[in-house]
Chain A
Amino acid sequence: QVHLVQSGAEVKKPGASVKVSCKASGYTFNTDGINWVRQAPGQGLEWMGFISTKKDTIRYAQKFQGRVTMTKDTSISTAYMELRSLRSDDTAVYYCARDGKGFDYWGQGTLVTVSS
């Protein structure tokens, strides 16, 4: 059974960085890419970017270019998303999602709170 398990909630100060992990199990990690999606309080879903697990392809949403880095460690079937220069409006639940036929499996979400 496919599972994506994310790291725990984080509280960060403005200007800091956060790195969220997403560990995959139940399938071959290097067959489907991983997307990162966030939802701020009272807002809709927002795509942040995609990282291929079998090639070197990474694609970021324009909004996050220069501030986000997505990486992977195929040896432990884990993807990472680091967001830098955090602002209060980065407070959100961050999800990883497998890029199968659509975003077919999702992590449980990681709440990142940015507050001074």
Chain B
Amino acid sequence: QSVLTQPPSASGTPGQRVTISCSGSDSNIGTNYVYWYQHLPGTAPKLLIYRDDQRPSGVPDRFSGSKSGTSASLAISGLRSEDEADYYCAGWDDSLSGFYVFGTGTKVTVL
């Protein structure tokens, strides 16, 4: 059971803005960076956001990350059909000698 909680699903029509939340605690989001990954079935996950709000080169600026306290969010603006995928927040947790944890995952559907 993950210590990072996400809504199981989110949806929007093309062009809309969708936001995914990630709720954690002081030992993970409250202390360490948050990362976001996109995972399409049958492919390897892809890093979308690192260090809370940074985009790797090649990731469209439609994707943005933010963090406040022990919660983080991923926003997808100008939703496109190819954005339909599973999205995971992730980061290090300082409890239990430290471990990396993925969120529970959110399935984004483009209606």
Give the interface of A toward B (CB within 8 A). Answer: 35, 37, 39, 44-47, 50, 59, 61-62, 95, 97, 101-104, 106-109
Pair B50/A101 contact, Cβ less than 8 Å: yes
Show 8 A/B contacts (Cβ-Cβ < 8 Å), sorted by A: A45-B39, A59-B97, A62-B96, A101-B51, A103-B37, A103-B45, A103-B90, A109-B44
CB distance from A40 to the nearest CB of B (A): 12
Pair B99/A59 contact, Cβ less than 8 Å: yes
Which stretch in B10-18, B75-83, B100-108 binds the other chain? B100-108
* Contact residues in B for A35 (Cβ distance below 8 Å): 100
Pair A104/B50 contact, Cβ less than 8 Å: yes
Pair B44/A106 contact, Cβ less than 8 Å: yes
Q: A44-B105, A47-B100, A50-B100 are in contact. Are A103 and B47 (CB under 8 A)?
A: yes
Return the contact of B35 from the options A50, A62, A103, A106 (Cβ within 8 A).
Answer: A103
